[in-house]
């Protein structure tokens, strides 16, 4: 059986890709410091340990490199650590794959127009991926991942708009919007993202060209917040906050010219409707134990620690 290794495979997106790869007939292994809650085959380790990475990828047919430190404003005070994990770690994965003769490696990048730690490290990782394709003839695939959402995404410690807005809406708390809210987001449902990434990576006709994933839906943050407000049945309002450090409203995300992965795969017309994707996502957070929902809200100071009364809808939405 063919084998796929996913670094960071125990996370939200890693687990989604495991499901698609399994459907494609691959045995999947998660290389991660922590086991997957889904019981996926697990190889413990860190991408900062080159020998450990080599051992994990030995015999793999394809490696998907998802491991890294996430965050925008969250990483501004952790730049040295982010450089180690996101840059050195990516170089280690590429080098381990080269040494062990792994045929294909996937690297997810992002739009990197903003000046922040995460963008700098992701761009450097992208360049290392392209370097290994150019200099060593490795079959490297690179897609830009935009704003993924779906069931299973963690609401903290890295602030993600969709899960936190949903929790605020379910608990009748004001949904918080950074800045004017007129900045756009390009949303892609988890299942669409994982399908496109896996099929594009396994397609024999790909190359190291950086492409957009496709199947995204563009809307303003205000529109996203209003949609979640209505779908959660929130009785509260919307509240604007000062823009976060590391984000630049003057530089909206620009889609790349040329064909997306969805275009090349012939699935450009299969985008999951936002209402369906958001309904499934809201159901996931509504069904979480109330303690888990409150921990996320408490982490961001939306309600005092140990308080339930500050979230008037908390008990009414418990499953």
The predicted-structure confidence for 244-272, as pLDDT tens digits, reads as follows: 776 766 667 889 999 999 999 999 999 99
Summarize the confidence of residues 209-221 as an average pLDDT.
97
Q: Does an H or E element contain 176, and which?
A: strand 175-178
pLDDT band at 48 (very low <50, low <70, confident <90, very high): very high
Whether 61 has a pLDDT exceeding 60, the answer reads: yes
d(CA 156, CA 127): 29
Tell me if 162 sits within 8 A of 25, measured CB to CB. Answer: no
Summarize the confidence of residues 55-78 as an average pLDDT.
91
The predicted-structure confidence for 135-175, as pLDDT tens digits, reads as follows: 999 999 999 999 999 999 998 888 899 999 999 999 999 99
What SS3 state is found at 51? helix
Summarize the confidence of residues 35-60 as an average pLDDT.
93
Residue 312 pLDDT: 43
Residue 305 pLDDT: 60
d(CA 165, CA 168): 5
Tell me if 211 sits within 8 A of 258, measured CB to CB. Answer: yes
The predicted-structure confidence for 97-143, as pLDDT tens digits, reads as follows: 999 999 999 999 999 888 899 999 999 999 999 999 999 999 999 99
Assigned architecture for domain 146-188+215-245+253-319: Alpha-Beta Complex (3.90)
Over the chain, what is the mean pLDDT? 91
d(CA 147, CA 131): 26
- Distance spanning both ends of the chain, measured CA to CA: 41
The predicted-structure confidence for 18-37, as pLDDT tens digits, reads as follows: 999 999 999 999 999 988 87
Does domain 2-144 fall under CATH 3.40.50.720? My reply is yes
For the chain, what are the domain ranges? 2-144, 146-188+215-245+253-319
Centre a 10 Å sphere on the Cβ of residue 220 and count the other Cβ atoms it contains: 15
Residue 205 pLDDT: 85
Residue 206 pLDDT: 86
Full-model pTM: 0.92
**How many separate helices (H) and strands (E) can be counted in the chain?**
11, 12
């Amino acid at each position: 059986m063919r084998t796929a290794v996913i670094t960071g495979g125990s996370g939200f997106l890693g687990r989604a890709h495991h499901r698609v790869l399994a459907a494609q007939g691959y045995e999947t292994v998660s290389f991660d410091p922590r086991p997957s809650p889904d019981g996926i085959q697990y190889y413990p380790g860190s991408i900062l340990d080159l020998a450990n990475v080599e051992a994990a990828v030995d015999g793999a047919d394809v490696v998907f490199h998802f491991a890294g430190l996430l965050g925008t404003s969250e990483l501004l005070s952790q730049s040295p650590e982010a450089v180690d994990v996101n840059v050195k770690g990516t170089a280690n994965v590429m080098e381990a794959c080269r040494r062990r003769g792994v045929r294909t490696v996937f690297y997810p990048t992002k739009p990197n127009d903003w000046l922040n730690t995460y963008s700098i490290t992701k761009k450097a990782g992208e360049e290392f991926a392209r370097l290994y394709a150019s200099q060593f003839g490795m079959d490297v695939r690179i897609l830009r991942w935009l704003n993924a959402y779906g069931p299973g995404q963690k609401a903290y410690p890295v602030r993600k708009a969709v899960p936190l807005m949903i929790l605020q809406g379910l608990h009748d708390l004001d949904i918080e919007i950074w800045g004017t809210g007129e900045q756009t987001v390009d949303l892609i449902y988890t299942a669409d993202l994982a399908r496109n990434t896996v099929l594009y990576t396994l397609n024999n006709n790909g190359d190291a060209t950086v492409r957009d994933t496709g199947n995204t839906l563009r809307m303003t943050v205000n529109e996203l917040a209003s949609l979640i407000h209505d779908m959660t049945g929130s009785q509260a309002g919307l509240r604007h906050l000062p823009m976060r450090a590391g984000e630049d409203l003057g530089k909206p995300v620009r889609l790349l010219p040329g064909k997306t992965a969805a275009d090349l795969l012939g699935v450009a017309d299969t985008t999951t409707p936002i209402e369906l994707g958001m309904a499934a996502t809201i159901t996931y957070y509504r069904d979480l134990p109330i303690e888990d929902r409150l921990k996320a809200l408490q982490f961001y100071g939306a309600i005092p620690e140990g308080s339930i009364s500050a979230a008037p809808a908390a008990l009414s939405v418990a499953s």
